[in-house]
Structure 1
Amino acid sequence: MLHRIFTALALAVVILTAGCMGGLLHPPVVPPAIVPIDGAPPMGALVYTFPFEGGEETIRIEPDPAAYTGAKAADRQLYLYEDLAREEWIPIYYLAFADDPHQEPFYTDLLAALRDIREREDLDGDRYIELIAVFVQSIPHKTDTLAIEPKFPIETYVDGEGDCDDKSLLLAALLAREGYGTALFYFGEEEHMAVGVKSVGCCYLNTSYAYIETTNISYVGIPPAALADGAYLSSEPLVIPVGDGDGFYTASGEVAVIERALTLSRDRVEELNEELVVRTRELEADGEALAALDARMTELSRAGYIREYNRLVSEYNRLISAYNRAAEAYNAMLGEAESTVNLHNYLAGHAHDRPGSYLRALDYLMG
């Protein structure tokens, strides 16, 4: 859920004295800004461990306490001295949080830690985007009902939690500083924010960006079917460019394979579940009929009606044979449903490992 944007339309005061006109001059917009507060105690190194591909990675840095304390105390209102359209002042407001210069040492340290992982794991550009995305996505998503305005990215890192706009600001700032074409997606109607990264495919709506959801670990290029509160993204977002670098995402083909496997496996499970319900009822009815026939034959045998008993034996054998065939088909269908559910859950639960998920998805589709 987006935090509120507080704006104030200020009046410029003009003073006339002795035939001369003097005044208080203001820029047209005064956005939020960090004023570092010296003397804040050290906070120690903050550690994040998160899943990535086949293992886990750890980030450990110590942000500047003066910058963090200043961010906490910052005035988060946007002061307007001109009547600007929303499409003009909303980008100014959010970019002030992402690009405040007092956060640059924080970004430098955090990106140094991420680059160490990139070099150790020999990540290409796509996997590096995914590393940064998964790191931010793994920060717990929490809406603070007392904090009605966005956080500066340094706050999100130190606090260890953030809302959709808090985490999106952090991710967009990091990707932009690593040279990727980056934007914020501002969904005013749905009160949601996400990130876009320049991509050669899997672009969101009519933009040139692949969608990245930040509220949970998810694939680059696959928007959520629904948000955490059940809402659907139906409006076109306001696109707020954050970085105009030449870097872009190129793994859209593999992402498309994963998305197709997710869709087909989900649809197949729904189809199988419906058929299994029908076949369960049929097997139960057939089982009851067999039990009734077996009871009837037992009565005939005990009563000495051998001829009638023998007449029913062939019918019983025919029914039991048909029942066994139906049960065998049911078990095969149940096995397919279970394996398809496992595949779908694996893909949904391993968005931190796009290369591995791609191989699983491809194997399923080629099946």
Structure 2
Amino acid sequence: MARPPLHLVTYPEIVPDTDSGIRRVTVKIPYAHLNYAHTIEVDEALYAGAKKSRKSATVPAGIGDAWLAGYYRAFVFDKHQEGFYPKLLAPFRKIRKELNLDSDRYLELLTAYVQGLPYDKEKLASIEIAPRFPVETAVDGTGICSDKSLLLAGLLSHEGYAAALLHFGKENHLAVGIPAPAGFDFQKTGYAVIETTAVSYIGSDPCTETKGSLVTRPKVIPIGNGTKTYSAIRDTAKILTVIRELEEKLNPEGTMVAELLRVKESAERQTETLRLLKERIEQDADLSEEEEKELLASAGRKLQRLQQTVHQYNALAKEFARLQELASFIRNNRLDRQAVVKRLQQIHSGGRS
């Protein structure tokens, strides 16, 4: 039996409301260690209409999931939002000019804004979790994975990036993708993941960021006809590798934690052995001069070994503290890739870390 044609699918569409007012919205944009706030004006008729409009699609039986691409694109490219995108993008373009941002850093700026929007836990707990239109997410200042991903995909596509949506059907999760070369893409999709629900580096494993398990290969839904990509993916891949290596060492079950504990316990055993030996030397009145001499020599050797163990422990503790500080620096500078890359380059070249 032939599959029904896609034109039979009815997609969501904004029906503008009758309200003629203007809603002023503060757009908060974090970037590096800067925080910007700009006010934009959104037509109340557009926002209210988006709120009230139907969010579901009417899908004929037997069509499979072929309708999904059109469904999500309907949210991003609804014709009534075309005037909204330039208004929202205006402050970003201003910041790009002020900071002389290249294409990669501008993509990071747009991403930081969307990632910084609070996650809408209340909506997630509700019965109805249909996506918001991007104008709703921007005005509400919050959203779940679908809301935030549709907003970011819309912003990127309107700025000429080759954005895509990554749909994890089994896990009911939506993320954004940006083209990446083989070895730097997610599950051989040809796209690196931009997880919108948490502040994270581009290319981060969505399983890590969502604290979940995304086992299915996502369906890739290109959004728009942009051609710009993200050439800094190799930088973020290196950063993410360092993060994994640090976690393997520093977490409570990590290799360095285990080594610190082993050396500490060894020092404690050696200390107790030395204490008992000194106690015997001091209290055993029956020791001959020769026996006492041998025990004192043994105590000297044990003290030397203990000092070496303590030195080993102190060196490990110093390195542990250094790595903790590095991990903290990487974590606290997720919005400043260049600063992290510079720090790692200094370490690699043997400079100050």
TM-score range for the pair, normalised by the shorter chain length: 0.7 to 0.9
Question: Which residue of structure 2 lines up, in the alignment, with residue 361 of structure 1?
Answer: 344
Change (3 A) 1:299 1:225: farther
Local SS of the residue matching 2:208:
coil
Equivalences for 1:275-354 in 2 at 5 Å? Answer: 275-300=259-284, 307=289, 309-354=292-337
Q: CA deviation at 1:238?
A: 0.8
Q: CA deviation at 1:221?
A: 2.2
Question: Which residue of structure 1 lines up, in the alignment, with residue 186 of structure 2?
Answer: 204
In 2, are the aligned partners of 1:29 and 1:79 still within 8 Å (CA)?
A: yes
Q: CA deviation at 1:28?
A: 0.8
In 2, are the aligned partners of 1:35 and 1:70 still within 8 Å (CA)?
A: yes
Deviations 1:257-315 (A, max 9, x none): 21232233333442222211211211111111122223333324xx5968355543222
- Give me the whole-angstrom Cα distance separating, in 2, the residues matched to 1:33 and 1:260: 43
Q: CA deviation at 1:158?
A: 1.6
- Give me the whole-angstrom Cα distance separating, in 2, the residues matched to 1:28 and 1:83: 12
Report which of the two structures shows the higher radius of gyration computed on alpha carbons.
1
Q: CA deviation at 1:169?
A: 0.3
Change (3 A) 1:305 1:203: closer
Change (3 A) 1:213 1:71: same
In 2, are the aligned partners of 1:97 and 1:153 still within 8 Å (CA)?
A: yes
- Give me the whole-angstrom Cα distance separating, in 2, the residues matched to 1:81 and 1:281: 69
- Give me the whole-angstrom Cα distance separating, in 2, the residues matched to 1:325 and 1:344: 28
Structure 1 residue 108 and structure 2 residue 89: aligned?
Answer: no
| TM-score normalized with structure 1 length | 0.85
In 2, are the aligned partners of 1:226 and 1:233 still within 8 Å (CA)?
A: no
Please point out which of 129, 137, 145 is paired with 2:115.
137
Q: CA deviation at 1:253?
A: 2.4
Question: Which residue of structure 2 lines up, in the alignment, with residue 9 of structure 1?
Answer: none
Local SS of the residue matching 2:42:
coil
Deviations 1:85-127 (A, max 9, x none): 21x1111211111111222222111111100000000000000
Local SS of the residue matching 1:203:
coil
Question: Which residue of structure 2 lines up, in the alignment, with residue 62 of structure 1?
Answer: 41
Please point out which of 164, 169, 192 is paired with 2:150.
169
Aligned residues: 337
Please point out which of 98, 115, 126 is paired with 1:120.
98
Deviations 1:41-67 (A, max 9, x none): 5443324142x1243333432322221
- Give me the whole-angstrom Cα distance separating, in 2, the residues matched to 1:47 and 1:174: 14
Question: Which residue of structure 2 lines up, in the alignment, with residue 21 of structure 1?
Answer: none
Structure 1 residue 77 and structure 2 residue 59: aligned?
Answer: no
Local SS of the residue matching 2:224:
strand
- Give me the whole-angstrom Cα distance separating, in 1, the residues matched to 2:224 and 2:181: 17
Unaligned 5+ segments in structure 2 are: 1-5
Deviations 1:8-55 (A, max 9, x none): xxxxxxxxxxxxxxxxxx9512111111213275443324142x1243
- Give me the whole-angstrom Cα distance separating, in 2, the residues matched to 1:194 and 1:304: 79
In 2, are the aligned partners of 1:347 and 1:357 still within 8 Å (CA)?
A: yes
Question: Which residue of structure 2 lines up, in the alignment, with residue 39 of structure 1?
Answer: 19
| TM-score normalized with structure 2 length | 0.88
- Give me the whole-angstrom Cα distance separating, in 2, the residues matched to 1:42 and 1:170: 21
Q: CA deviation at 1:175?
A: 0.1
In 2, are the aligned partners of 1:195 and 1:211 still within 8 Å (CA)?
A: yes
In 2, are the aligned partners of 1:257 and 1:362 still within 8 Å (CA)?
A: no
Aligned letter for 2:277? L
In 2, are the aligned partners of 1:35 and 1:71 still within 8 Å (CA)?
A: yes
Q: Say which structure, 1 or 2, has more relative contact order (CA 8 Å, 6+ apart).
A: 1
In 2, are the aligned partners of 1:28 and 1:82 still within 8 Å (CA)?
A: no
